[in-house]
Amino acid sequence: MTDAPGIEIRGLSKLFGPVTAVDDLSFSVPIGSVTGFLGPNGAGKTTTMRCLLGLARPSAGQALLTGSRYEDLRDPLRIVGAALEVTGFHPGRTARRHLQVIAVAAGIDAARTDAVLAATAMTEYADRRVGGFSSGMRQRLALSAALLGEPKVLVLDEPANGLDPAGMAWLRGALRTFADRGGAVLISSHVLGEIQAVADRVVVIGRGRLVTEGPTDVLTASVGVSVRSPSADVLAEALRADGATVAVEADSLTVTGTSIERVGEIAARAGVVLHELRARTTTLEEAFLELTEGGTP
Amino acid sequence: MIRLVSAELLKVRTTRLWIGLLIGSLLLNGAGALLLLALAGTAEGRDAGLTPIRTTEDVRMIVSAAAQALLFVLVLTATMATTEYRYSTAAGTYLTTPHRGRVVTAKTLAAVPVGGLFGAAAGLLALAIVAGWFVVKGGGPTIDVTVWVAVAEDALQCAYAGAIGAAVGVALRSQVVAILVVLGWTLVIEPLATGLVPSLLPWAPFAGAATAFGAENPDLFARPAAAGLMLAYAVAAWVVALVLERRRDV
Point out the domain boundary residue: A213, A230, A249.
Answer: A213
A78, A79, A93, A141: best to mutate for the B interface, most B CBs within 10 A: A93
* Interchain CB contact of B102 with A (< 8 Å): no
Closest-CA distance of chain B to residue A8, Å: 18
With a CB-CB cutoff of 8 Å, which residues 28-57 of chain B face chain A?
A: none
Closest partner residue to A76 (CB to CB) among B3, B15, B95 is B95
Domain count, chain A: 2
Calpha distance A239→A256 (Å, rounded):
10
CATH code for the domain in which residue A264 is found: 3.30.70.100
Calpha distance A112→B228 (Å, rounded):
44
Least trusted range by pLDDT, from A82-86, A233-237, B239-243: A82-86
pLDDT at A59 over 90: yes
Chain-chain contact of B98 with A102 (C-beta, under 8 angstroms): no
Name, in order, each residue with C-beta under 8 angstroms of A183's C-beta and a sequence gap of 6 or more: A6, A31, A32, A151, A152, A153, A154
Name the pLDDT band for B215 (thresholds 50, 70, 90).
low
Chain-chain contact of A97 with B14 (C-beta, under 8 angstroms): yes
Closest partner residue to A100 (CB to CB) among B3, B10, B93 is B10
Model confidence pLDDT, tens digit, residues A101-122: 999 999 999 889 999 999 888 9
Chain-chain contact of B92 with A94 (C-beta, under 8 angstroms): no
A290 in a structural domain: no
Residues A230 and A132 in one domain: no
Least trusted range by pLDDT, from A55-69, A190-204, A280-294, B22-36: A280-294
A289 in a structural domain: no
pLDDT at B133 over 90: no
Point out the domain boundary residue: A159, A184, A213.
Answer: A213
This model of the complex carries an ipTM of 0.78
Chain-chain contact of A77 with B96 (C-beta, under 8 angstroms): yes
Residues A130 and A247 in one domain: no
Residue positions counted in chain B? 250
* Interchain CB contact of A50 with B (< 8 Å): yes
Residues A245 and A129 in one domain: no
Mean pLDDT for B86-91 is 89
A293 in a structural domain: no
Chain-chain contact of B87 with A102 (C-beta, under 8 angstroms): no
Residues A87 and A39 in one domain: yes
Name the residue with higher pLDDT: A87 or A43.
A43
Average pLDDT of chain B to the nearest whole number:
89
pLDDT at A191 over 80: no
A287 in a structural domain: no
Name the residue with higher pLDDT: B44 or A67.
A67
Least trusted range by pLDDT, from A3-7, A245-249, B124-128: A3-7
Which of A27-31, A191-195, A205-209, A277-281 is predicted most confidently? A27-31
pLDDT at residue B43, rounded to an integer: 64
Chain-chain contact of A86 with B88 (C-beta, under 8 angstroms): yes
Mean pLDDT for B208-218 is 76
Calpha distance A178→A116 (Å, rounded):
14
pLDDT at residue A1, rounded to an integer: 44
Point out the domain boundary residue: A213, A247, A262.
Answer: A213
Domain extent at residue A62: 5-213
Residues A10 and A78 in one domain: yes
Name the residue with higher pLDDT: B207 or B234.
B234
A296 in a structural domain: no
Chain-chain contact of B7 with A105 (C-beta, under 8 angstroms): yes
Residues A169 and A268 in one domain: no
With a CB-CB cutoff of 8 Å, which residues 61-90 of chain A face chain B?
A: 70-71, 73, 76-77, 80, 82, 84, 86-90
Residues A262 and A148 in one domain: no
Residues A85 and A131 in one domain: yes
Percent of chain B with pLDDT over 90: 56
Residues A195 and A251 in one domain: no
CATH code for the domain in which residue A157 is found: 3.40.50.300
Mean pLDDT for B66-94 is 92
Percent of chain A with pLDDT over 70: 95
* Interchain CB contact of B2 with A (< 8 Å): no
A286 in a structural domain: no
Name the residue with higher pLDDT: B217 or B45.
B217
Contacts of A57 in chain B (CB under 8 A): 247, 249
Model confidence pLDDT, tens digit, residues B20-69: 999 999 999 999 888 888 887 666 666 666 777 778 888 888 898 889 99
Closest-CA distance of chain B to residue A62, Å: 16
Residues A133 and A15 in one domain: yes
Size of interface A-B (CB pairs under 8 A): 86
Residues A32 and A115 in one domain: yes
pLDDT at residue B51, rounded to an integer: 73
Residues A202 and A247 in one domain: no
Percent of chain B with pLDDT over 70: 96
The 8-class DSSP code of residue B218 comes to T
Mean pLDDT for A114-143 is 91
Name the pLDDT band for B199 (thresholds 50, 70, 90).
confident
With a CB-CB cutoff of 8 Å, which residues 103-122 of chain A face chain B?
A: 104-107
A111 in a structural domain: yes
